[in-house]
Amino acid sequence: MNTYWNLQTLWFVLIAVLWMGYFFLEGFDFGVGMLLPFLGRDDADRRVIINSIGPVWDGNEVWLLVAGGATFAAFPVWYATVFSGFYLALFLILLGLIFRAVAFEFRGKTDDPRWRRWWDRALFWGSALPALLWGVAFADFVNGVPIDANREFVGNLLDLLQPYALVGGLATLSLFLLHGALFLTLKTTGELRERANRTAASLWWVAGAAVLAFLTWSFVNAAVRQDKGIVPDAVPLSALGAMVAVGWLRREGWELGAFLLNGAAIVLVTATIFLNLYPRVLISSLAAANNLTIFNSSSSQYTLTVMTVIALFFTPIVLAYQGWTYWVFRKRIDRSELRPAAAPVSGPPTSAGH
């Protein structure tokens, strides 16, 4: 069987692209949510911060749903093993996403400061938990977890909280924080924009150090195992180069360039993980023979063929719609555009209201 030209490889690549898109787009959502209590000096600031992602956050989460659905359909054994072994971690991620979504909807229902503070906390933790735990989970994929010959997870939560995995979690957490700060420099005005810019300057050092540590450790692990998948050296080096460029562009005032290159760093770090895995999808720390691969965990050829036809038809439509959404809501948000705080809100927040 040709390793590269087959439907299993195609769907591995498509799932990787879906996760890259999710982390690029939802990454700044998570970052904005985590920065809410630190950059919002008053309720008007916090409303501006929330409104910056109000029209797009739920659309960005579609990438997660599609990635999960594609994994279930294309690689059901991978999906089943991850959801059984990573159950508690995924439950915490789901809990965070639920509280985050509810916070967007309920925060503006009343003008009571205590009510809003509780939902601000929910938004913070609902953003921070997934930002950290997604990094932990993907680092575990490539570092290895206890999987037996029956392709079943036989470990516990402590097996997932390995030092390498925690560094991976810190890398995604800091990258998403920086992504959110850079996004706010594009979407806000005045003092809030300046605070976001200063915060991005500080976070750049943290994110850069975390990415360097994670990629260096990944390289050492691959060298020890004498197996780095199919990772070209150019991919992780480009991620580090993008991080360096982010700092320079931000100092020069090229906000859009800094945001896009930070997103490129997120994509390249994610690509490094997937390329390191291929053709595996989940590494066993017990024995290489127990590894899940794109071949021993995939659906039938017929299922993959039908999925491919459907994806070719619907993917351009979804991308066009989401691109149109970002174009419509591209303008900056100013405090003067906020409607009175006590006004009731129905439906998802918009750039002019919540």
The residue whose two tokens read 């591209």 is: 330
Structure confidence by residue, pLDDT tens digits, 3-14: 567 899 999 999
Band of residue 18 on the pLDDT scale cut at 50, 70, 90: very high
- One DSSP character per residue, 284-330 reads BSS-GGG-EETTTT---HHHHHHHHHHHHHHHHHHHHHHHHHHHHT-
- State how far the Cα of 315 lies from the Cα of 14, in Å rounded to an integer: 11
pLDDT at residue 341, as a whole number: 55
Query: Looking at the domain assignment, is residue 346 inside a domain?
Result: no
- Residue 269's closest CA among 301, 243, 296? 243
Q: What is the mean pLDDT of residues 26-33?
A: 95
Domain containing 55 equals: 7-337
Q: Does 279 sit behind a cis peptide bond, omega within 30 degrees of 0 on the bond before it? A: yes
Q: Which pLDDT score, from 0 to 100, does residue 58 have?
A: 87
Q: Would you say 264 and 248 are in contact if contact means Cβ atoms under 8 Å apart? A: no
- Give the DSSP letter of residue 3: S
| Of 166, 180, 177, 242, nearest in space to 203 by CA | 177
Q: Are 327 and 57 in contact (CB under 8 A)?
A: no
The answer to the question of residue 22 being in a domain is yes
CA-CA distance, 242 to 254, in Å (whole number)?
Answer: 14
Q: Is the pLDDT of residue 103 over 70?
A: yes
Residue 270 is assigned to a structural domain of this protein = yes
Amino acid, res. 179: H
- Kindly state whether residue 104 falls inside one of the protein's structural domains: yes
Convert the pLDDT of each residue in 143-187 to its tens digit: 999 999 988 888 888 889 999 999 999 999 999 999 999 999 999
Q: Is residue 124 part of a domain?
A: yes
Phi-psi region of 344 (alpha: psi -120 to 50; beta: other; left: phi over 0): beta
pLDDT in tens, 195-248: 999 999 999 999 999 999 999 999 998 888 888 889 898 999 999 999 999 999
Q: Is the pLDDT of residue 347 over 70?
A: no
* 180, 29 contact by CB (below 8 A): yes
Predicted model pTM: 0.90
Select from 337, 329, 274 the least CA-distant residue to 53.
Answer: 329
Identify which of 202, 198, 183, 319 has the alpha carbon closest to the alpha carbon of residue 263: 183
Report residue 298's pLDDT band, with 50, 70 and 90 as the boundaries.
very high
Query: Would residue 76 count as lying in a domain?
Result: yes
Instruction: Give the model's confidence band at 328: pLDDT under 50 very low, under 70 low, under 90 confident, else very high.
Output: confident
Beta-carbon-side half-sphere exposure of residue 265 (alpha carbons within 13 Å): 32
Q: Counting Cβ atoms within 10 Å, is residue 10 exposed (0-12), middle (13-18) or buried (19+)?
A: middle
Question: Any bridge partners for residue 282, and if so which?
Answer: 292
The pLDDT confidence band at residue 322, using thresholds 50, 70 and 90, is confident
Q: Would the pLDDT of 354 be above 50?
A: no
Q: Which two structure tokens, joined as six digits, stand for 290?
A: 């127990």
CA atoms within 13 A on the CB side of 149: 0
Distances from the Cα of 191 to the Cα of 185, 188, 195, angstroms:
10, 9, 6
Is pLDDT of 71 > 90? Answer: yes
User: Does any domain span residue 343?
Assistant: no
Strand intervals (E) in 202-272 = none
Could you tell me which residues come within 8 angstroms of residue 68 by beta carbon, excluding any fewer than 6 positions away? Answer: 79
- Number of domains the chain is built from: 1
- Residue 343: pLDDT band with limits 50, 70, 90: very low
**Is residue 289 domain-resident?**
yes
Kind plus residue range of the DSSP H or E element containing 15: helix 7-39
Torsion angle (degrees, nearest 10) of CA 246, 249, 252, 254: -120
Q: Strand, helix or coil at 281?
A: strand
Q: Given this model, what pLDDT does residue 352 score?
A: 38
Q: Provide the angle, in degrees to the nearest 10, between the axes of the packed helices 57-74 and 7-39.
A: 150
Distance between CA atoms of residues 270 and 136, nearest Å: 12
What does pLDDT average to over the chain? Answer: 90
pLDDT in tens, 50-60: 999 988 888 89
